[in-house]
Structures are given as C-alpha cells and as structure tokens.
C-alpha cells in the first residue's frame, strides 16, 4: 500500500514482531517491512521460511499470479 513497492504483490515469509514481517515476492527482494505498508489478501501460499527466494518466486508465480494476472 505504501512505500517503494506500493501496488506489488508479495508473500509474508516470517513474522518478526507485532509491527514487522519479512516479505518476498516476484518483484520484491526478501526484506523486512512494517505491516502497515501491507494489504492482506485472502489467498494463502504454504511456504517455509527456509525456502530460497527463487523457490518462493516460482511458487508465487505458479499459485498467485495465475489468479491475479499481474
């Protein structure tokens, strides 16, 4: 919703505390972000925080982008 990557989609990889999470996605490199900058969607992709960025990108493209067409 806010910041440099506003309008892009990502996956929450890990929750750090009540304000911050680690995200990864197709156009977003793995990074720590404030949850206020995110808008949750109803879709869930099952991942583990040990997955590589490349594996997450592949799952993300396969399961999510097909539905949203971005």
pLDDT at 61 over 80: yes
Task: Tell me, yes or no, whether 32 lies in a domain.
Answer: yes
Any domain includes 3: no
4 found inside a domain: no
Q: What is the model's pTM?
A: 0.81
Please provide the size of the chain in residues: 70
* 24 falls within a domain: yes
Does position 9 have pLDDT exceeding 90, yes or no?
A: no
Mean pLDDT, rounded, of the chain: 86
pLDDT at residue 67 is higher than 80:
no
- List Cα–Cα distances, 4 to 34, 48, 56, in angstroms: 13, 26, 21
16: left (phi over 0), alpha (psi -120 to 50) or beta: alpha
Tell me if residue 56 falls in helix, strand or coil.
helix
- Cβ contact 48:59 at 8 Å: no
What CATH number is attached to the domain comprising 56?
2.30.30.30
Position 20 in a domain = yes
- The pLDDT assigned to 46 comes to 86
pLDDT grade, residue 66 (50/70/90)? Answer: confident
- Residue 68 and residue 9 in contact, taking contact as beta carbons nearer than 8 Å: yes
Domain that holds residue 23: 11-68
């Amino acid at each position: 919703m806010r910041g440099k990557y506003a309008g892009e989609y990502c996956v929450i990889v890990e929750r750090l505390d009540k304000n911050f999470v680690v995200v990864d996605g197709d156009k977003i490199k793995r990074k720590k972000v404030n949850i206020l900058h995110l808008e949750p969607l109803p879709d869930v992709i099952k991942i583990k925080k040990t997955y590589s960025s490349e594996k997450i990108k592949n799952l993300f493209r396969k399961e999510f982008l097909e539905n949203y067409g971005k």
